[in-house]
Structure formats: C-alpha cells, structure tokens
Amino acid sequence: MVRRYLKKEGDRLLGEILNTYYLQIGSFILINIMLAISVYVPLSSGQLSLGSAGFMGVGAYTSALLTLHFDLPIVVGIIAGALVASILGVIVGIPALRLSGVYLAIATLGLGEVIRVIFVNWDSLTKGSVGLTGIPQLGREILEFARGLGFEPSMIGIKNNQFVFLSIFLVLLILVIAILWFVVRQQNSRVGRALSSINMDDRAAESMGINITYYKVVSFTQGAFFAGLAGALFAHVIGFISPADFAYHRAVEVLIFTVFGGSEVIVGSVFGAFFLTLMPEVLRFVSEFRYIIYGIILVLLMAIRPQGIIDTNLLKIFKFKRSKGGVR
Amino acid sequence: MVLEVKNITKNFGGISALKNVSFSINKGEIFGLIGPNGAGKTTMFNMITNIFEPTSGEIIFKGENITGIKPYKITEKGICRTYQNIRLFSQMSTLHNVMVGGHSQSHAGVFSSVFRTRAQRKEEQLLIEKAEELLDLVGLLEHKDTIAENLAYGQQRRLEIARALASNPSLLLLDEPAAGMNEKETDSLYDLIKTVQSRGITVLIIEHDMPLVMKLCDRITVLNFGEKLAEGTPEEIQNNEAVIEAYLGKEEEEVNA
C-alpha cells in the first residue's frame, strides 16, 4: 500500500518538476546564458560589442532557411548558423576592431540594425517582417529520432510533450556546460592571459610581443560564434522567428545580462542571464508592475554596484572560505 | 653592433621631438640616454619599439632594418622595454604578468590551450618555471601570487623588468627604472642591471639619477631639445662643457669652481 502510494506520489512529483512551463523557462535561461557569454568573451579582451543580436539573427535565419528549404538535419543547420555568424564576425571584426570602447559599441549596434533591415527587406528569402514559421522543432526531431530507436516517453513515465521540452533543455544544458568549459579553459592559458592583458593595457600587451589585432579578432569571432549558435538554437526551440526578435532591444538586453551579473568574471554573465530571465516570470503575480520593478532593480544596481553583482572580490571571499584560509 | 640608430627625425605637427639623432650600441654594453626633461629620450624609445614611426631615419637591429615593423614583431626579434609610467597588467598576479612577458617565447593557440595538449602543458610548465626564476632574480618570488597593483612602487618597477626579461630580449630598454626609488632600492637596481648585463643582454637606459648613470653606463649619449649634444664615456660626459651648460645653465662657473 505505502509503496504504491510512494510510487504514485513520486510520479506526480516528477510530473510537477517536468512541468513544460518550467522546462521552457529553463531553456530560455540557457539560451540567454549563451548570449551573455557572447558579450562576455569579447569584453574579456576589452571589446564592448553590441552585435550579439545581429549575430544571433544571422545564426537563426541561416539555420532556419537551410532546414526549411534544403531539408537538412537540424544539427547541420545549427552548426552552419554558428559558422556563418562567425565568418561574418571575422569580416566585420577586422575593420571594426580599430575602434574601441563606445565607438565599437555603436558600430556593432549599427551592424545589428543593418542585419535586421536586411531581414525585413529581403522578402523573397526571409518573408520580411512576418518572419519564418514552421521551422523544424528540435525537441520533436529528437522525439522522432528516439522513437526510431524503439523508445517511447511513456517507458520512463512521462508524456510526449514533457519529453520534447526535457530533451531541448538537456541539449541546451550540455551545450552551455561545453561552452563554459571552453571559455574557462581558454582563460587559464596563454591565450586567456593574452586577452586579459589586452583588456588591461593594450599598448603594454603589444610591447610584450602580443599580436593584439589577432587576439581581438579571435575573441570577437568567438563572441559571434556563440551568439550565432544561440540564435540557431532559438529558432529551433521556438519554431518561428521574425526580424523583431533580433532588434536592438535584444542587443541591449543581452548586454544588461553581462553588466548586471558582473562583467569581470564569467560567473557574472551566467548569473545575470539566469536572474534576469527568471525575474519577470517570478514577478508575474504583480502583473503590470513587473517591468517597473525590473527597471528599478537595474537602476539601483548600477548606483550601488556598478561592477555588477559578482566581481573578483566576491569570488575571492568564497574561495577563501572554501580553502579555510589556505595559501591560494 | 646590436643597435644602430641612423639620422632619426620625429616631428609632431610642427614640433621636432628628435632632430637627426644617430648613435650605435655595442653588444653587451650598458648604454645611457640622458638629457633634460623634454629632450626626446622617451620619444627615442618609442621610435625603437615603433610605437610611433619616425618621420625619417632608420633603426637597424642586428643588421636588420626594423623601422616601421609592428611593435609585437620587434619584441619577437629581441627588443623589450619598460615604461617610465609603469604599465603593468594591474589586475593580474605578479606571476601572470611575467608569464605574459613570455608570450613571444611560447606558441599555444586556442585549440591546444582548450584541450590541454601534452605540448601545451609542457610549455605552460616551462613558462611558470622561467617566470619564477625571473621573479627570484628581481626579488619578488615571495609575492608571486600578489595582484600587481598591490605591490609597492619599487617592486612594481622591478616586476616590469622581470616581465620584459621574460621575452628573452637581447636588447633591454629601461625607461627611468630608478624614478621614485630610495637609495637602497637604487643600489639593488644597480646590482640587478649588472646581473642582466652579465647574462649577455645589452641594456639601453634612460635615467635621471646621475650617480647611478655614471656608475652603471659604459657609454652615454646626451640629448638636448631633440638633438644629440654629446656622446662618450661617463668621464667624458661629466667633463663636457656643452653638457654641463645644458644641465646647469648659468650656474656653470659655480660648479666648475
């Protein structure tokens, strides 16, 4: 009796946790983390790029069009989307990186707008401002693939719908972990030291034998790649895209993730994307006031903690506690 | 001859910072570049490392014309410098600052860095060992994990020298390394530069601390208002009428008396 009750209760809890609404928010958080990293990486070499929305759009449209018109597998589309965005990153990066600071920010913001206007006006290909619909959905493809192998979601006691959202969430989670792994490993290496030395003093970095143009283009292109990847995934998670998804408010939103969370450390970007994606959902109970609260939090933060929530000092406190006052 | 500076002229707008200056430095010597403020000494360093390109003239390093090539390539060829107003990577640890200095001596790219290939790990180990050895040389090994901006002023100057040495230069340019140092620190700086020389590194030094310059340098060039005023051994420079006049102006008779 008790056992059966526990089993039933367990299933109910699983059903609760695998609530498709939660899973979808989780997926948006993960995509936004990718976007925040796409701002963080160029910033780690001192490049303030607002091109993320544009590169995201390029990735999304590339993958959507390839899978819609050429019936290519989603995986191929996503990889192509990320690659096309990074190629554009190299092409734009080489001339644009002569600029720095605010000037680079404005130039990349302009780039994003140019890309958006192309999406709006290239009607025959992009269907203009209406956008593309019926883009193959990542979760459904995974479900079909799993069924081909003789697997049914009911075998592990979840509904098809839950499986679809769960598989998307897991794919995104794996990708985010892989990206974090990549960026952290790169940071703790010769390449990472070169990037942060350029950030701290580019002239001194150049005197130390660092080809600053090369490293700036590398970090800018990596940012474009991550943004393109996030965009392609976005297209296949949502199923429909329009130029408005990649407009300038998106660029600013992504920048806020990184600045809010703290742009000195990668944990900051991750936290910023997590917190700011979740907050409007949590604040749903105050309905129309939620964006006011969102705005007030941003203003307060910038006044009190301009370096963002998480900075190197905060991390040091945690590290210090963990090593119980150890040497490092 | 390690370095030949041939007829270098640099104009900023209508002002000539350097006018037709030439000198050459022999291998293994400590060569001083002195002169009153604004004489063009740092501009000369910026010409040699090509932070600015000279208006005319040539710079020959080990028989090769290096005028106008990219600064990072000049470092790769074996010229490295320090700055008058210290330019460390202030948020990085002391050790990492020196490891950045070893950039031109290492090769790991994005791929090998991320996947930690065997060659990359070996190279990283070598970089750390080299950096620690240099920190030991400048007496900062115990501060290797300290963030550079938290070091004392004199220590920051020494760290800059260690960082420059990490690029394995054959010519080291020091821009006022003793500025702001007390007597004791200046003494140990003297020992450090002598050690650097004993390792076969040629040194070109800008310095205002005359006792240090006279004790340290094998030969000296004096600049004044962008022009070369004199060149010679420390004794010759000390007894040169034109130099005394440039430095001390009208009080020359009192000094000579």
- pLDDT at residue B64 tops 60: yes
Say how far apart CA A263 and CA A82 lie, in whole Å: 23
- Burial class of A283 by CB neighbour count within 10 A (0 to 12, 13 to 18, 19+): middle
Say how far apart CA B4 and CA B7 lie, in whole Å: 10
Residues pairing with B147 in the sheet: B93
Nearest-Cα distance to chain B for A204, in Å, is 6
Say how far apart CA A236 and CA A78 lie, in whole Å: 9
Q: Is A192 on the interface with B (CB under 8 A)?
A: yes
Q: Which of A111-115, A279-283, B102-106, B185-189 has the lowest mean pLDDT?
A: A279-283
Average pLDDT, chain B: 92
- CB spacing of A204 vs B87 below 8 angstroms: yes
Q: For the segment A67-106, what is each residue's pLDDT rounded down to a tens digit?
A: 999 989 999 999 999 999 999 999 998 888 788 778 898 9
- CB spacing of A182 vs B75 below 8 angstroms: no
- CB spacing of A196 vs B91 below 8 angstroms: yes
Q: Residue A1 has what pLDDT?
A: 63
Cβ atoms A228, A37 nearer than 8 A: no
- CB spacing of A209 vs B104 below 8 angstroms: yes
- CB spacing of A210 vs B145 below 8 angstroms: no
- pLDDT at residue A15 tops 70: no
- The DSSP annotation for B170-228 comes to SEEEEESTTTT--HHHHHHHHHHHHHHHHTT-EEEEE---HHHHHHH-SEEEEEETTEE
- Taking alpha carbons only, the member of A275, A287, A260 closest to residue A29 is A275
**B49 Cα distance to chain centroid:** 10
Q: Which residue of A has its CA nearest to B161?
A: A208
User: What number is the average pLDDT over the span A13-30?
Assistant: 83
Q: Which CATH class is domain B3-78+169-256?
A: alpha beta
Taking the CB of residue A3, how many other CB atoms lie within 10 A of it? 7
Interface with B, mutate which of A208, A215, A320, A327 (most B CBs under 10 A) = A208
- CB spacing of B163 vs A197 below 8 angstroms: no
User: What number is the average pLDDT over the span B157-184?
Assistant: 94
**Residue A24 CB partners (closer than 8 Å, separation 6+):** A165
Q: Is B99 on the interface with A (CB under 8 A)?
A: yes
- Taking alpha carbons only, the member of A214, A157, A146, A118 closest to residue A7 is A157
B200 φψ region: left (φ > 0), alpha (ψ -120 to 50), beta (else): left
- pLDDT at residue B65 tops 70: yes
Say how far apart CA A68 and CA A66 lie, in whole Å: 6
Q: Is A326 on the interface with B (CB under 8 A)?
A: no
pTM: 0.89
Say how far apart CA A107 and CA A8 lie, in whole Å: 58
**Structural domain boundaries of chain B?**
3-78+169-256, 90-163
Q: What is the ipTM of this complex?
A: 0.90
Structure tokens at A66: 């390839």
Q: Is A200 on the interface with B (CB under 8 A)?
A: yes
Q: Residue B5 has what pLDDT?
A: 94
User: Using a CB-CB distance cutoff of 8 angstroms, which residues of chain A are in contact with residue B157?
Assistant: none
Cβ atoms B59, B66 nearer than 8 A: yes
Work out the pLDDT band at A153, boundaries 50, 70, 90: confident
Residues pairing with B3 in the sheet: B25, B61
Work out the pLDDT band at A286, boundaries 50, 70, 90: confident
Q: For the segment B157-170, what is each residue's pLDDT rounded down to a tens digit?
A: 999 999 999 999 99
Q: Residue B135 has what pLDDT?
A: 97
For chain A, what percent of residues have pLDDT higher than 90?
56
Q: Residue B253 has what pLDDT?
A: 52
- CB spacing of B103 vs A209 below 8 angstroms: yes
Q: Residue A13 has what pLDDT?
A: 66
Nearest-Cα distance to chain B for A190, in Å, is 7
- CB spacing of A211 vs B70 below 8 angstroms: yes
Taking the CB of residue A113, how many other CB atoms lie within 10 A of it? 16
- pLDDT at residue A322 tops 60: no
Amino acid at A83: L
Question: Strand B3-12's sheet: what is its strand order?
Answer: B15-25, B3-12, B56-61, B64-65
- Taking alpha carbons only, the member of A62, A88, A106 closest to residue A233 is A62
Nearest-Cα distance to chain A for B241, in Å, is 37
Work out the pLDDT band at A324, boundaries 50, 70, 90: very low
Taking the CB of residue A207, how many other CB atoms lie within 10 A of it? 26
Q: Is the dihedral of CA A151, A154, A156, A159 positive or negative?
A: positive
Q: Residue B7 has what pLDDT?
A: 94
Average pLDDT, chain A: 88
Question: Strand B219-224's sheet: what is its strand order?
Answer: B79-81, B171-175, B202-206, B30-34, B219-224, B227-232
Q: Residue B242 has what pLDDT?
A: 87
Name the more confident of B247 and B195: B195
